[in-house]
A and B are shown apart, each in its own frame.
Chain A
């Protein structure tokens, strides 16, 4: 559920004059430590990141456009607006493993293996349930009718509450004094 065929209608509807690229392998989210979208990253002419706005970035918001206009005007400020989701304190090896699992899932999806893709993403989600980019990707594959032709936001709210409740119950049941078992 990704790729040019899904992105193009949005690009056309917005009458976009900018370049739209598709991040099929989820390269950018780990670079920014992003667990949700939309995000804004401003890169100055010399390649320096001058703004990193994780979650809630919207060009319809005055606070976002004001920040961008300042930078376009040559302001040398560094602007960081962090995500409202605090990153979990996971060991770096687990973070790298999660990133690899997410990329593997995208590769499997591209090969026409959605069930295997979801399994890899579930694995990543087990370690980092706050990662909405992964959770929503799973939903998109498992429940496409909730996204096409329109996005059912009310369903998403109910779904995430149910899933988080079930995940907490499952972890409490699985984990003991020595830790938690691997998901598979």
Chain B
């Protein structure tokens, strides 16, 4: 994955796939949602 770390990915770029675990420990990949609209809401409790 080649991303400019200063500004990150731009709008219009293809989002690279990633894999993270959900609250039950199940692996979730962005590619699981290919073909659907996805809103990633990045949040923290602080």
Chain A residues in the interface with B (C-beta under 8 A): 4, 6-8, 10-11, 19-24, 27-34, 37-45, 47-52, 57, 59, 68, 71-72, 78-80, 87, 89-90, 92, 95-96, 98-99, 133, 136-137, 139-140, 147, 151
The 8 residue pairs across chains A and B that have the minimum distance between CB atoms: A33-B8, A95-B5, A21-B20, A78-B11, A41-B40, A39-B42, A32-B8, A43-B38
The A/B interface has a contact count, at CB < 8 Å, of: 140
Q: Do residues B22 and A41 form an inter-chain contact, with CB atoms below 8 A?
A: no
Q: In the complex, which residues 21-39 of chain B have their Cβ closer than 8 Å to any Cβ of chain A?
A: 21-25, 28, 30, 33-39
Q: Do residues A4 and B23 form an inter-chain contact, with CB atoms below 8 A?
A: yes
Residues of B within 8 A of A32 (CB): 8-9, 42
Bound: A23/B12 CA distance, A: 24
Chain B residues in the interface with A (C-beta under 8 A): 1, 3-16, 18, 20-25, 28, 30, 33-46
Q: Do residues A42 and B38 form an inter-chain contact, with CB atoms below 8 A?
A: yes
Residues of A within 8 A of B41 (CB): 38-40, 57, 59
Q: Do residues A43 and B23 form an inter-chain contact, with CB atoms below 8 A?
A: no
Q: A22-B23, A43-B37 are in contact. Are A49 and B4 (CB under 8 A)?
A: no
- Chain B: minimal CB distance from A138 (Å): 10
Bound: A68/B20 CA distance, A: 24
- A34, A80, A87, A133: the one within 8 Å of B10 (CB): A80
Bound: A147/B7 CA distance, A: 29
Q: Do residues B15 and A47 form an inter-chain contact, with CB atoms below 8 A?
A: yes
User: Taking each of B4, B16, B21, B45, which has the highest tally of chain A beta carbons within 10 Å of its own beta carbon?
Assistant: B45
Residues of A within 8 A of B1 (CB): 31
Q: A20-B22, A21-B21 are in contact. Are A95 and B6 (CB under 8 A)?
A: yes
Residues of B within 8 A of A37 (CB): 42-44
Bound: A21/B11 CA distance, A: 22
